[in-house]
Structure 1
């Protein structure tokens, strides 16, 4: 179940942009980075082709996938972040219950980063990409796991992730879901993704993205 194609169109590489003011988010004091996606020039990678689209839509960042087996992401153009806590509100608006979506951290390039995935059926995984090999799920012996703390078919999920001091921790709606140790990647960019693991199409919308420091 953790096998998939890594087909990432060049259009989704992060697009450089001038820094711009972003309205304050709730609980955002001391944030290293924050975005409520109200400004379509805030710097995230966007674009579209026959397989995918990433767009600012009505104050959210919408990540759409149009073919089975693709994972599509966009990053925030903050390439030197380390020891951080990330949060984002995510909505599954165009896929099945099993459509994975979530957070990326310590992004080096398309073959080197961590990701925190959940779906609307209550499944989750903390994983890392490995160049020249299949991705490794660091939770549950390289398999998806299920948590009763992830609500089925919720209208939205507040996903959190710690990428700090060699520990990776996943939170959903304020509850800790899983934590693992891995120090392969210690710094890098942050982002969001949607994945058509077994579905024909997927869409996840993201809002109120915030990064704070973990000491």
Structure 2
């Protein structure tokens, strides 16, 4: 999947970038109902309630990532715009990442989520995204290439386990030993295997829809922990 994007790295390493226009296409088939729920993690490696300034922040004509109301708020003013921020330049391996995403009446096609195994000084990583309309994807991004959705034959999928237009979601992503599992509100949404990146940085993302009129997501209670 092609996309326009902007990246906000930690304060000390702030970088802005943009690529050519792409598409944010909806649709996809419904997935069978999984029965698994999120297992516990082991040891906390990073915990953040967003009361201190460690994440990359900035504001420009395309959008903003700023601290607001003890949360990290993403607001995007450009259609089909992919933005992410990271808390540090630490390399993590075999971890679970969790966060609460607050939906400030964003368009249902707004994608929000988690990234992991980000490669140093590259736009290469895995990401786990969902929309308030109930769509999701687990994807691999590589510098200079179109993103590959590892789920649902490279298309957005729909899950009845994702509450529609909820005021908030608790997201979790397991990134370890070549397996990548996405949870929403404690329920397993999907899982894939891939071996391109085995470790790397972590972060948060928001992606505005093709016809977006309001893209406003805040994140709180971020956690990185070792997998069992």
Alignment TM class, shorter chain as reference:
0.7 to 0.9
Give the Cα–Cα distance (whole angstroms) in 1 for the partners of residues 122 and 78 of structure 2.
Answer: 19
User: Unpaired segments of 5 or more residues in structure 1?
Assistant: 18-26
Query: Where does residue 178 of structure 1 map in the other structure?
Result: 190
CA distance in 2, matches of 1:119, 1:8: 19
Given the two structures, how large is their TM-score scaled by the length of structure 1?
A: 0.87
Superposed CA RMSD: 1.9
Q: How does 1:100-119 map to 2 (within 5 A)?
A: 100-108=111-119, 109-119=121-131
Between the aligned partners of 1:211 and 1:129, the Cα distance in structure 2 is 21
**Distance of 1:67 and 1:29 partners within structure 2:** 39
Residue number in structure 2 paired with 1:16: 12
Please give the secondary structure, in 2, of the residue aligned with 1:205.
strand
Match of 2:168 among 156, 169, 179: 156
- 2:46 is the alignment partner of 1:33: yes
Matches within 5 A, 1:31-180: 31-39=44-52, 41=53, 43-108=54-119, 109-180=121-192
CA contact (8 A) 1:28 1:34 kept: no
| Alpha-carbon distance in structure 1 between the residues aligned to 2:160 and 2:47 | 29
Match of 2:208 among 176, 181, 196: 196
Question: Which 4+ stretches in 1 moved above 4 angstroms?
Answer: none
SS at match of 1:126: strand
Q: What is the CA–CA distance in structure 2 between the aligned matches of 1:197 and 1:79, rounded to whole Å?
A: 30
In structure 2, the residue matched to 1:21 is none
Larger mean Cα displacement after TM superposition, 78-87 or 177-186:
78-87
Q: Distance in 1 between matches of 2:180 and 2:198?
A: 11
After superposition, the C-alpha distances for 1:126-179 in whole angstroms (9 at most, x for unaligned) are 001122221000000000001111000111000000000000000000000000
Instruction: Indicate conservation of the 8 Å contact 1:15/1:44, yes or no.
Output: yes
Contact 2:94 2:176 in 1 (8 A): yes
Normalising by structure 2, we get a TM-score of 0.82
